[in-house]
Amino acid sequence: MLSRYLKASRDWRQRWALLVDKIERVQTATDEQQLLARLSRPAKPFVLAFANAHAMNSLAASAPFFAALQSADMVLRDGSGMATLFKLLGMPPGRNLNGTDFIPELVRQFDGRSIAVFGTQNPYLERCLNVFARKLAPRSSYVSAHGFLDIAAYTALAQAQQPELIVLGMGMPRQEEVAAALRAALTRPCLIVCGGAIVDFLGGKTPRAPMWMRKLGLEWMFRLAMEPRRLFQRYVIGNPLFLSRAVRLASARRG
């Protein structure tokens, strides 16, 4: 498994540098509230994505995924690994706007407007919709679809229903590809959010770590303990690889 990662394109430094420059870092709670308000009023189809350590490793190995993530209209910093990267680069990391915490606050901004949720499968998709409808946006109307359709099915559904917010819960890199297709297909303003595991989290499929672990940036350790076989490659192999690349990128910039 490690050999596959090490065969990643030699272009990874350029890809990382470009995405680092693209990531929007929010420094204060006030700035975060202003960002939420801004995102809730898109002027056109607008893709919001998140970059974490796994995303950085993935884009190093995949040029199409890099292109999809780089094409997002906005990318936010997600996770303690990315904070470490920015600190090594001598840049303030800003607030940790991980999708699991940020997206529910974003959904609240769309209360009373139409919302689409595409991703995962039932019963988790239905449970997530119930959380949206009961706790986050009770005045909204909803449309949903599981995460295993052809991309054309999502664009057709979005064109027919015209939601103002679309939350994708398909994981990388599929959701970024779907997001790009939705943006190209839609003509009315719409915020398209690459939500990763958000639907599974809210639907009860994947538990959250205790708050103390989240505050210490150790939620990845909790997830690894819950799903060791599925997440071994992402965390046990991926985290050291990410840190190694972060150090090398920082050293290259200083040199």
pLDDT, tens digit, for every residue of 210-240? 888 888 788 888 888 888 888 888 889 999 9
CA neighbor of 203 nearest in space, from 135, 113, 253: 135
Question: Which ranges of the chain does DSSP label H, i.e. alpha helix?
Answer: 2-6, 12-22, 29-39, 53-61, 63-70, 80-88, 99-109, 124-131, 151-161, 174-185, 198-202, 211-215, 219-226, 228-231, 238-254
- Cα separation, 225 vs 23, in Å, equals 30
C-alpha 49: how far from chain center: 5
Is residue 173 a contact partner of residue 145, using CB atoms and an 8 Å limit?
no
Place of tokens 């959380």: 131
Burial class (CB in 10 A: 0-12, 13-18, 19+), 165: buried
Q: Can you tell me the distance from the alpha carbon of 124 to that of 122, in angstroms, rounded to the nearest whole number?
A: 5
Helix (H) or strand (E) holding 45: strand 45-51
Reply yes or no on whether the pLDDT at 52 is more than 60: yes
Query: Which residues lie below 8 Å from residue 131, measured CB to CB, with a gap of 6+?
Result: 202, 203
3-12, 50-59, 91-100, range with the lowest pLDDT: 3-12
Q: What is the pTM of this model?
A: 0.91
Quick: pLDDT tens for 74-90.
Answer: 999 999 999 999 999 99
- Give 237's DSSP letter: I
120-144: pLDDT as tens digits: 999 999 999 999 999 999 999 999 9
CA pair distance 82, 33, nearest whole angstrom: 21
